[in-house]
Structure 1
Amino acid sequence: MQQAALELFTRDGYAATTAAAIAARADVTERTFFRYFPDKREVLFDDGQRLERLLLDALSAGSRVVAEALPRALRAVAADMQPRREMLVQRAALVSSVQELAERELWKLQHWTRSLTETLTEWGVDGLSAAANAEVAMAVFRAAFTRWVTDEEAGELADLLGDTVTAVGLDWVFTEVDEKPQAER
């Protein structure tokens, strides 16, 4: 349904495309469409929760050294996105051109940032450091992703993440986790 929606949004415009038209293009009933999505906007954001889960799972999959965990989490999302680049390029162009969609995209990324912050805090990182590290990690992701979807020569998203960190000299940003739980400090 997402591909059908992207095709119609691109051809007819976001405002002119209805949920009924998306359902018809996807060869499903309108009722089926609404079982999966509350409105036409959400067809473009359906993957957000899965990607957030992937982000958090990858964050916690290895060492709890923030400078290792955050890049690992971002690379996991990048690896998941890479095979879908063509569709994500089309989606990004649409999202950036429609204020309602751009605002929803920012909300999604803010939610991911809060989730990263909460996880880091649970690990024992102080609140300010956890929030700052999560914000920086998501800024790196946004900058790399934006270049990836707007520059045909950009290469792999995972490589752009590394290039972005290097470009702004972020080695000093990521903090280490105090291995003691907060209750023991």
Structure 2
Amino acid sequence: MSGAAGPGANLSALRSHNAALVLRLLRDAGEDGVSRLELAGRTGLTPQAVSKITARLRAEGLAAEAGQRASTGGKPPTALRLVPGARHAIGLHLDRDELTAVLVDLAGTPVAARTAPFDFGAAADEAMAAATAEVRALLADAGAGGTESGVAAGGGNDGAAGGGTGGPAGGVTGGPAGGGTGGP
């Protein structure tokens, strides 16, 4: 056997992966929800594993009952659905002239947004401070907490060079994520 082996997964990583898989299916099912048995069939997980995962998700407020499904005999299955407002995420878009911060719920639905001027030539610490200020203002405006954040910096595509051309934040690398700037 030759070649490099891929990275292994510990129990915590596997648990997170499976929970994310179930959350994705709950999100895709919408308000009608999906039963545990359907989740097991779609994920390839055992019904017992799905029950444990959904119990954790319900305890964390991420999933809730969506009603009973028709029974083909025996106890009718309970459908579960995602609770979109249970958590939020923030996306930042840094453009040449402006910074846009968007707050979305777990279903990906925008809840609030802010746009502010952005100095393309700013130093990395100034850009990070501007982004942090907008995120804090967005959270305050929306009255939201318990967020995860992600940054997307658009750039051009240089087909001849075979890759992206960077973008407005091309020089911003390795900055603290919530560290040195007192991040949100």
Shared fold per TM-score greater than 0.5: no
Q: TM-score, normalised by structure 1?
A: 0.29
* Structure possessing the higher radius of gyration over alpha carbons: 2
Higher relative contact order (CA closer than 8 Å, sequence separation 6+): 1
Higher strand share: 2
